[in-house]
Amino acid sequence: MNLLCPFWINKIPRLRTDSPSALSLADLLYCNVEDPNEVWTHVILGGYVIDVEWLFRVSGPLLMSKCTIVLISGEKGFLHKYRHLVLHDRFGRNRVKIVEPCLPIPFGVHHSKMMLCINNNGIRVAVLTANFIEDDWNYKTQGIYFQDFPRLKTQSENIVLNISSIEGKGMRFRNEIKRYLSCIGVASSMPKDGCIPLSLLDEFDFSGACVELIASVPGYHRCSDAQHYGLGKLKSILQSMQLPSSLDRNPPVLTWQFTSQGLLTANFLNSMKQIMSIDARNPTGEDKMDPVVRVVYPTETEVKNSLEGWRGGLSLPVTLRCCHSYINERLFRWGTVPQGSEVENERSKGLPHLKTYTRLTESEDGLSWFLLTSANLSRAAWGEWQHGGTQLLIRSYELGVLYDETSFLHVKEDGLFSVTPSRPVPIPSSADGDGLVRVTIKADTCKKDGGGAALFLPYNPLTLQPYVSTVQIQERRTNALAERSKSPLSTTDVPWVVDVPHHGEDRFGKEFHDVLSGDNPCKEYLHASHRLSRSNSQIRKKRMKYDN
């Protein structure tokens, strides 16, 4: 039986080979506006940066329907900017609501990417890694989780369905959505201007939810409250999974794939490693056996040769000051050549904007779990423990989903349920040449290859290609002679760092300084990234003290 996880990637128009697992934003926002049951009544879209004019240009149903639209933005002054658009006059005051979430802790941002679309058939829930801007959807590699959920049947129609919807993953999924929407000021249990009623979410049957939601919300989260967010939530989920322990007591193998990192500390890195190492034998993650960590991050050459050329590096805002030796010694390339092939994977030309964290099975032939999220490797995103681990400080809003071996779609004989039956979204799969790799999630280490729930990923966490310098560093650790020689590390693979000089022409014949000085289509994203960089600088200058 082919068990498939609800994971898709974005459709990149410039790639020669399309993938059945590739979706456009228009695919996700489509509805038949002539069908009263299918036309959207409410649409909630959240992102770090939103290009409103492009958003409505690619999604005709949003323009043609009369649905209430809520836009959640992390861009400061977004409401003021929107009011100066022609669309503001067209929609009037009540059609589109703008929400700029409260940021109670200095230097935090709203970084989540999500979508909720409601009609008379049910609700579509999507957790994304793409902002609502053209560059993110058409040129970069993104991850997409979404599921459609039907409306609850009345008690007289099916009492069993009502009971199942409030148990297990479905109940947790619904509660996490309600909690998160309340925190960002989009939903409320009391009548409130610009908010949808929380009770609206009780009208849907979430019993088919395949994943666990992991949100980060700014604040000082104490005691049991810390279990709801960031590192605390991840820890709680992994403890409840009771993953089988390594039979041979081998160290856990983790992959971290992100597009930016903050100022890292040893305590934060230890927290990440410990929590991601949790299994049945090591329920706290504090086992003295240090995990193997592999960091997937693009090289300077990969940026230069990408679909965007040098410009693509502007949305990989890692600065020299934020580089950390622990990460630098564990780097693996983003793009790899498929095994047995001499042809480069064209899909890897779309630079990553998705963020994924995984744990491999003991035999490294599959995944124990897989996490898709907006959260980069930073304390602001994941949080940092204070006061002996009783308080979790989080600065930013983030949203992600965790897949395990039970995270597969339940496809019935008449197909997968869709809230847009006139154009249902295709089930994930792969085609020759699309650059996707089939990887399975199987918590049971005794399962043979091929078992478990399948993901079609844009990179292969099982066969990563290390930087040449990573190989050299590993050899030094195991070879005393190599350690004594101290020969210079290879510069064949240089990790992309945005604020150092970059030389040579990209695939468009442009130098990096041309990109910085020219008219940049992703200028708003670049400005937002610079604000983050300045915030990090301010944190450093103020010498803010963190208790760990």
SS (H, E, C) 467-532: CHHHHHHHHHHHCHHHHHHCCCCCCCCCECCCCCCCCCCCCCCCCHHHHHHCCCCCHHHHHHHHHH
pLDDT score of 445: 54
On whether the pTM is more than 0.75, the answer is yes
Which one, of 435, 303, 350, lies nearest residue 135 by Cα?
350
Alpha carbon 204 to chain centroid, angstroms: 25
Check: CB of residue 71 under 8 Å from CB of residue 97. yes
- What is the predicted pLDDT for the residue at 479? 75
Task: Name the binding residues for substrate.
Answer: 113, 355
Query: pLDDT at position 520, please?
Result: 55
Cα distances (Å, whole numbers) of residue 448 to 3, 365, 386, 445:
15, 9, 42, 8
Active-site hit among 110, 228, 353, 502: 353
pLDDT score, position 444: 62
Distance in angstroms (rounded) separating the CA atoms of residues 236 and 170: 17
Known binding-site positions = 113, 355
214-541 has which CATH code? 3.30.870.10
| Nearest alpha-carbon partner for 109 in 539, 548, 547, 528 | 528
**Domain 8-212 CATH (choose: 3.30.870.10, 3.30.420.40, 3.30.465.10, 1.20.120.1770):** 3.30.870.10
Give me the pLDDT at residue 283, please.
Answer: 87
User: What would the two tokens of residue 94 be?
Assistant: 């009540």
Quote the pLDDT of residue 239. 96
111 noted as active-site residue: yes
Could you check whether 8-212 and 214-541 share the same CATH topology? yes
Q: How far apart are CA 24 and CA 406, in angstroms?
A: 27
Sequential pLDDT tens for the chain (548 residues): 689 999 999 999 998 888 889 999 999 999 999 999 999 999 999 999 999 999 999 999 998 988 999 999 999 999 888 888 888 878 877 789 999 999 999 999 999 999 999 999 999 999 999 999 999 999 999 999 999 999 998 654 444 444 444 468 999 999 999 999 999 999 888 777 767 899 999 999 999 999 999 999 999 999 899 999 999 999 999 999 988 876 767 899 999 999 999 999 999 999 999 999 999 888 887 876 899 999 999 999 999 999 999 999 999 999 999 999 999 999 999 987 555 444 567 899 999 999 999 999 999 999 999 999 999 999 999 999 999 999 999 999 999 999 999 999 988 888 899 999 999 999 999 888 889 999 999 976 555 555 689 999 999 999 999 999 999 888 887 776 555 566 787 888 999 999 999 999 999 999 999 998 865 544 444 444 444 444 444 433 332 332 22
The phi and psi torsions of 89 (rounded to 5 degrees) equal -70, -35
Q: In what order do the strands lie in the sheet with 391-394?
A: 219-222, 391-394, 384-386
Phi-psi category of 128—alpha, beta or left, where left has phi over 0 and alpha has psi -120 to 50? beta
Nearest to 380 by CA among 48, 98, 107: 107
Closest residue by Cα to residue 117 from 416, 369, 520, 419? 419
C-alpha torsion sign, points 459, 465, 467, 470:
positive
Secondary structure of 108-150 as H, E, C letters? CCECCCEEEEECCCEEEEEEECCCECHHHHHCCECEEEEEEEE
Domain ranges, ordered by start, for the chain: 8-212, 214-541
Predicted local confidence at residue 539, as pLDDT: 33
What 3-state DSSP class applies to 324?
coil
What's the chain's Rg over C-alpha atoms?
A: 23
Element (H, E) at 90: helix 86-95
Structure tokens given for 535: 């915030």
- Report the pLDDT value the prediction gives residue 447, as an integer from 0 to 100: 52
* Active-site choice (111, 221, 228, 502): 111
